[in-house]
């Protein structure tokens, strides 16, 4: 069931797609996310109304209570950028975002329980089919070629994000960033296995809830446990060393980009965050 939680994370990804589209994306996120969920579950007529209502209520709550908090987070990031953040600062930001995300997902557990209790066998089959399609896409994009090819693909994906923030980089800067990117541990087979293990847990819980039809309270508790295990899985896994190394080296990559950025590139990032702050303040004021 954790996959149902992902629609909240997707909302934030949509928001950060581009400054000019943030308000448009947020104001239409309820519809976009309903379509996204429907692609997994294929809702029946009765479920459609309930899911749309739950998504609408979530965004009304989110607009009232969370957007100003994001403004404060961005203002803190701006201050850090002006003062050259340390890797410890970036780790604190990473933990902050992770904790905020977990709290948001836990808040949705009760609504997810309602949906889980209504699922039918054919909808579980639809979820499995969608998972398999996503995994095939992951293999095609991330596991193509040898390690050099996979590192190059990963680097290009990272550069898309860095250029969104900082604008264009020089050839010299790109060489430094590529070196830091390739320094991250590479094991896409392990990442795929983690995805599949997580999907297996989701499907197992979905079948358990569908078969046993527990009370909503019990179903919510099970879903909350799955959410927490999703955030804890790297800490309790025998693969902890790999994931710790990956997190640290990714933060070092970001730190490298910030460290070598020119004043003009940092100004580009500040301007982008100014745009997001303006849009978030406008959205927060539009309480329905």
For 126-184, what is each residue's pLDDT tens digit?
999 999 999 999 999 999 999 999 999 999 999 999 999 999 999 999 999 999 999 99
Predicted local distance difference test score (pLDDT) of residue 21: 66
Check if the beta carbon of residue 117 is closer than 8 Å to that of residue 51.
no
Question: Does residue 260 contact residue 176 with C-beta atoms inside 8 Å?
Answer: yes
Q: In this structure, are residues 241 and 42 in contact, taking their beta carbons and an 8 Å threshold?
A: no
What is the DSSP-derived secondary structure letter of residue 238?
T
Q: How far apart are CA 43 and CA 34, in angstroms?
A: 10
**pTM, rounded to two decimals:** 0.86
The HSE-up count of residue 93 (CA atoms within 13 Å, CB side) is 21
pLDDT band at 252 (very low <50, low <70, confident <90, very high): very high
Rounded to the nearest 10 degrees, what angle do helices 216-236 and 188-212 cross at?
160
Domain count of the chain? 1
pLDDT for the residue 19: 43
Are 226 and 205 in contact, with CB atoms under 8 Å apart? yes
Residue-wise pLDDT for 32-89, tens only, equals 889 989 999 999 999 999 999 999 998 899 999 999 999 999 999 999 999 889 989 9
* Phi, psi values for residue 75, rounded to 5°: -65, -35
> What pLDDT sits at residue 288?
62
User: Domain residues for 165?
Assistant: 2-285
């Amino acid at each position: 069931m954790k996959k149902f939680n992902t629609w909240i994370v997707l909302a934030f990804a949509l928001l950060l797609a581009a400054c000019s589209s943030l308000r448009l994306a947020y104001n239409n996120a309820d519809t976009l996310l309903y379509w996204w969920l429907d692609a997994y579950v294929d809702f029946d007529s009765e479920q459609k109304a309930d899911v749309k209502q739950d998504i609408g209520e979530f965004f009304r709550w989110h607009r009232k209570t969370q957007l100003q908090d994001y403004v404060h987070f961005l203002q803190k990031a701006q201050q850090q950028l002006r003062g050259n953040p340390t890797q410890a600062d970036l780790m604190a930001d990473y933990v902050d975002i992770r904790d905020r995300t977990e709290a948001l997902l836990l808040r949705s557990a009760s609504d997810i329980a309602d949906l889980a209790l209504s699922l039918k066998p054919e909808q579980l089959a639809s979820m499995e089919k969608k998972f398999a399609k996503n995994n095939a896409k992951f293999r095609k994009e991330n596991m193509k070629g040898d390690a050099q090819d996979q590192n190059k693909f990963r680097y290009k994906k990272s550069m898309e994000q860095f250029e969104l923030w900082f604008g264009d980089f020089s050839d010299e800067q790109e060489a430094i960033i590529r070196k830091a990117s390739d320094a991250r541990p590479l094991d896409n087979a392990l990442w795929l296995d983690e995805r599949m293990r997580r999907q297996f847990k989701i499907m197992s819980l979905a079948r358990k809830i569908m078969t046993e039809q527990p009370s909503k309270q019990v179903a919510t508790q099970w879903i909350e446990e799955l959410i927490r295990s999703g955030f804890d899985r790297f800490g309790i896994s025998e693969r902890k060393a790999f994931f710790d190394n990956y997190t640290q080296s990714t933060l070092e990559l970001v730190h490298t980009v910030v460290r070598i950025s020119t004043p003009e590139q940092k100004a580009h990032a500040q301007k982008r965050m100014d745009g997001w702050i303006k849009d978030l303040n406008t959205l927060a004021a539009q309480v329905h």
